[in-house]
């Protein structure tokens, strides 16, 4: 499902980081078309009051893992998805330059589904096989004070080999 919310990575910038996010649109609701519509710039601001607040937002991720484990890719890993915003990891700014963003359909208040962890671990294994991944972090780790996702209900112990 291609998203236009991406661009070229800086030359010779290896992918070293995976950033785990959580998203639900509308907030705390699952299964609707909102996330896909947001990432593909098709979100109707009249469809929900919250959508008016994020109208014009241009964001994406490389992957989305739905509550049922479905995996959707929006941006090629070779390109820079616009997922992290203002961010810093180990003194390096703009984490979008050297990271892969994975959104999990979820929120801060509810646990993630078992099948989401299964899908996420499969994706992480493939990414580690292809790229020199040094760490897997949460959005909150690279944008503290600004972001809380994947949130307190995300169980980091369920990731295999989380960096």
Catalytic residues: 103
How far apart CA 58 and CA 145 sit, in angstroms, is 21
Residue with tokens 């959104």: 103
How far apart CA 9 and CA 26 sit, in angstroms, is 30
Q: What is the largest CA-CA distance in the chain?
A: 43
Rounded to 10 degrees, the C-alpha dihedral 111/37/21/53 comes to: -90
CB atoms within 10 A of CB 39: 29
Q: Which of 21, 17, 30, 19 is nearest to 148 (CA)?
A: 21
> In a 3-state reduction of DSSP, which class is residue 157?
helix
């Amino acid at each position: 499902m291609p998203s236009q919310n991406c661009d070229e990575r800086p030359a010779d910038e290896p992918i070293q980081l995976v950033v785990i996010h959580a998203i639900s649109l509308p907030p705390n609701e699952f299964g609707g078309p909102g996330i896909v519509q947001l990432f593909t710039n098709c979100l109707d601001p009249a469809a929900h009051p919250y959508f008016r607040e994020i109208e014009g937002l241009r964001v994406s991720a490389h992957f989305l893992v739905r509550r049922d484990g479905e995996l959707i890719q929006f941006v090629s890993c070779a390109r820079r998805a616009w997922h992290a915003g203002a961010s810093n990891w180990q003194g390096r700014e703009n984490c979008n330059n050297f990271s892969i963003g994975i959104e999990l359909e979820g929120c801060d208040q509810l646990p993630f589904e078992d099948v989401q962890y299964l899908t996420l671990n499969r994706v992480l294994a493939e990414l580690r096989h292809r790229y020199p991944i040094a760490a897997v972090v949460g959005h909150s780790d690279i944008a503290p004070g600004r972001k809380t996702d994947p949130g307190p209900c995300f169980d980091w112990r369920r990731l295999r080999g989380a960096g």
